[in-house]
Structure formats: structure tokens, C-alpha cells
Structure 1
Amino acid sequence: MDKLRAMAVFVTVARCESLSAAAREMDVPLTNISRLLSQLEDSLGCALITRSSRRLELTPEGREYLTACRLILDDLEQAESRLSGGIADLSGPLTITAPETFGKLHVLPVLTDFLKQHPAIDARLLLLDRRVDMIEEGVDVAVRIGALRDSGHLATLVGSQRMVTCAAPDYLAGAPALSRVSQLAAHSCICFVAQPSGLRWTYASRRGGRKTIRVRPRLTVNSAEAAVDAAISGLGVIRVLAYQARHAIRSGQLVPLLEEWDDTEIPVHLLRWPHRTAPRRVKDFISFAAERLREPLGEMAPPALVGSADGACR
């Protein structure tokens, strides 16, 4: 058995979550993929993947071995690059994840420009409003909005965001007053289930301190984009990250509220997992993306949105 080849097959199968998809990506017969994976498991004396009729899942041993395989294969790629003088064009796979709305608006344009410059790179962009396990899901770079809990990752700060509370003018015309956080209890709210706070909205202000209020969800959705659309229709009050409501606020479809209670900045980082060396394509993409993202993040700060008609952690 070619151990390195078998490891590459295992990494591809884990990322594709399918033997047949891995076979198509590697352009080899499905029988070869299955045989190499079985030989690798036999040599290790344990199962790496559990197979069902619907999907493949890594075993605990498989998750641990997957990390080791990626480290070894990446180190080998870096060694070959150094021996060849490092002058070869960037090539290989690149997987990036970002929150859905932020990814569509800001990460996708950056990634497409990067791919145009490097035609030998093939990329996957996963737009997910949930925290991703970068190792298990095979992610090279993650856009993370919010405080970093997993400090083991290598992080590049690219800017910051704030939460904004807002509602449509039509809703506010017939609703009770809303100038204090405590008054939210009398309002219909649209809740975004991916927010860690759930049905409790916490406000942090340098002047007013920290206040938490339990809100009444008239509607609960699983995407910030849907929450913004529902608020525009006049259904109730939303609280989302500034970039998610930026266009609606600028166009006058939504009105910012309780701004003095929400002046805490939320950092935005690019993360990569902390192996000893990273493929040059990963490092170059982070440098490229960091420079490109800093400008729009600066423009998206709430003060630029408030009072101008033209102008949660995830």
C-alpha cells in the first residue's frame, strides 16, 4: 500500500463525505478509493469512517487521524515547494467558510478575484451561519465574527462590527415608544436562532453598562437575511450585525434604534488552523483577503450608517 496515497484518499473522502465524490475529484475508479481506504484502516487496526446509506461520518479515531494526515501532507507540500525554489504557481484546493450574508457580499468577490489571479487553485466557499469545526470539516480559512473562543487558531484581525437594533418606519408608526432597552418587552421581535443569545438580547454600552432583556419572538428564523426581510415588511424589531442591515438602513427601509446602548465593537478575524506550516496558497489568500476586507469593514461601521440617507457572534 502507498501510505501517502492512502492518506490523501482518506483526507479527500472526509472532505467530500462520499466515496464516489472523492473518486470523481481525484479522477480514479471508485474501487481504488474503497480499496485504499480499507487497506489504511486495516493497517491502523481501527475504523476511520462509519458508512451508512445516507452519509459517511468520521469515527473519533478518524477525526484524530485526519488532523495528523493533513499536517503530514501539508508539510510534504511545503518541503517540495522549498526544494523547487518556491517559484511554482500557487495550486491545490482551498476551503473557506464565512457567515452567509457577509460571505455573499464581501468574501465571494475577494475569492473570485484571487482565483482569477491563480488559475491552478480550486476553491470551496461554505456560507454557514454557524461555528465550523475547521479541522473536522476540512476548512483552511474561516471568517469569524465575534470573540475568539478557540485561541489555538492563528488569527488575523481585519476589522470590527457592531450589533444594530432596527425596525421599519411602518411598524414604528403604530408601535409603543422604544427609547430604552426595557421597552423591548412590549414589542414584537424577529429572532435569529443562530445568535448565541437566543431569545435574550444583551446590550453592552460604555455609558449604560450591560443590560439583558428577554424579547417576545413574533417570528423566529434561521437566517439573518430572512430576519431583515421580515423586519422590512413591518413585522417587528430585529437585532443583527451592522453589515446585515446596512443596505436596508441606508435605503430608509429600516430605522436604527437604541444606538446609545450598543456601542461595543465585535472583532472580525480570518482564522487558519495552527499547523506548523501552512500551504503558501493559504497564507497568500489570507494576506490578499485581509487587505481587501479592511476597507469595506471600515465603511460598515454604524456611525457611517446613522443619520445618512445615502450613506451575535458568527
Structure 2
Amino acid sequence: MRAARRRRARKYAASRSPVVLLGPRGGGLRLRDVVGELEAEGALSPGARIAAVTAGWRDREANEGLIDPHLADRVVDLELYRRSDRVAEADAELAQAHRASRNRLKALRRAYNLRLQGLIEAHRRLAELRGDEGVLAAERDEALDAIRRLDARHLDRVVEIRSEFEQRMAPGERDAVRLQRREVNARLDGTEAIVLEGGHVSNLLSRLRLFGGRELLAGRPVIARSAGAMVLTERIVLFHDRPPWGEGNPEVFDAGLGIAGGIVALPHASARLALNDRTRGARLAARFAPASCVLLDPGGRIDRAGDRWSGGDAVERLDMAGRRVLFRTAA
């Protein structure tokens, strides 16, 4: 433990804005402990004030219990969900355009999932097929490439639809948004770190984008839990192999903020993924390679300082054979 802290301290000395990704609550890892380590390693001043984003919890935003109570007197909640409601009330035109854009994305997602289901079923059946491996291996590779091409095309279309909305409506230039952004910046003043809590990943991501996205988080250490970790990645992947309605397929949902590069964050992985199914695991790892599919279960934590990620013995990733292996380090 002390050796790991010394390694992180050396990295933080080179980069004053570390990023910490956490799994869901539990597993003995408390937010106060993470903050305490950042203070001990020089990334935060002792007793520093901390900004919080709890928009993923919607109407429970800023409620007691969402943030470690031992840090309550140091935390300033930015209330991004409530502020987005105020923007919608003050600017009906922007709210209507956002709903229209959201409906376009829902239609796109339905079409993508329909196509994805067929491609994954073909890949699954090819994996079970027996015969000339010299022939079948090439067919399996092509089937996987087809899934990757669909994922990439879908992500491009999501970004295109969202960009069309942003270019047409220019939210950051509208009075209602400007007012709320000024208030957010006033709350940020004097804080040294930002905590992103979990909850509903879409709500969290859209509110972060409305109030500045990467710029909102720039220049401070960021601690992100569960869905908060997902929104920091380059590509948000939704997943549940065993949903209540039957078998599910991991799907590309949206581009994240791109702060946590090289990572596909998978919170609650042990509960949501059929990790004993090597074929599924290998397909998931290969779809998103070279990014690491990180299994962020309760108690899991990975740190980035400089250009490298590191994790302890509590964090695993999927390798290309679909096995659970220790995450350790990644560029």
C-alpha cells in the first residue's frame, strides 16, 4: 500500500490534475479515503473545498447521503440537474429543440440495436461452428470487424446529430444558459477538485455538456464514481448480459468527455456481465480494443497521472481471450 502511494505521489508531482475512477459504492473504498490520499500526495491542499456533480441522481440531486457525510462541510454541489430545469423553464425554444434531438437519437439507437443483434448472433454462431479452422477463423474475424464498423458508424451518427443541435441552437450563447453557467463558475471558485457521482449516465452526461463539458472539469483533480467514470471515457458502453427481459448485448451509447482515454469503464461488471462466458468476454474486449475493458466493481479504483493508468489488486480487465486478469497499468 505504501509503495503504491509513493508511485502515485511521484506521478502527481509531474501532473497536478490526476483522474481517479471508482466503482460503485461499497467494497471498503470510501470517498474520504481517496480525498485523504490526494491530500497526502500533494494533489490537494489539506481541507480543500470540493465541487460535486450529482446530476445523475436527478431529483435526488444534492440530497444527504450522495456524498460521503464526513466531507459534507467541504463539498459544494453544483446542482446541474436543477439548473438544467431552470434553463428549460426560461428557454422553451431550446428545450423543444433538445427534445427533438433526443427523439432522433432514440430512433437511431433502436435501429442500431436491431442491426447489432443480428451481427452478434452471427458472430456467436460462427464461434460455435466446427470445421476447417483456416476458413472459419477468417470468417469470425470478418464478423467481428462488421460489429466494430457498426459501432463506429453509430457513434459517428450520434455525434453528428448532437453536433447539429449544438451548432443550430448554440446553447452556450443563450441567456438562460449563460446565467446558470455564471452561477456554476461562482460555486466552483475556491474549490480544488471535482467529484462526479453516479446514477443515470445519460442525465449526467447531458448536464455536464450543457454546463461546459471538459472545460468545467479542467485544471482540477477529478474523482468519478460508477456512471461518473463512464462519462469521462472516450466511448460510453452500456451493458447488461442478463437484463430482466432476456439476453442483452453491450452497445455503444455515446461519446464521453474523453478525459479518461484508453478505458472502457464497466461499473457493476460482475453483476451485469456473464464473465464465465469466455466467448462473450473475448468479443467485448476485441470490439473496443485497444482500449481496456475495466471491470469496476465495488471497491475498484484506477488512477491516472501523466499518461498512464494504474490499478491495485481489486481491479481487473478482460483480456483478448475473455479472461479476467489484473488491470495493473496501461498507457
TM > 0.5 fold call: no
Whose Rg is larger?
A: 1
Task: Tell me the TM-score normalized by structure 2.
Answer: 0.24
Task: Tell me the TM-score normalized by structure 1.
Answer: 0.25
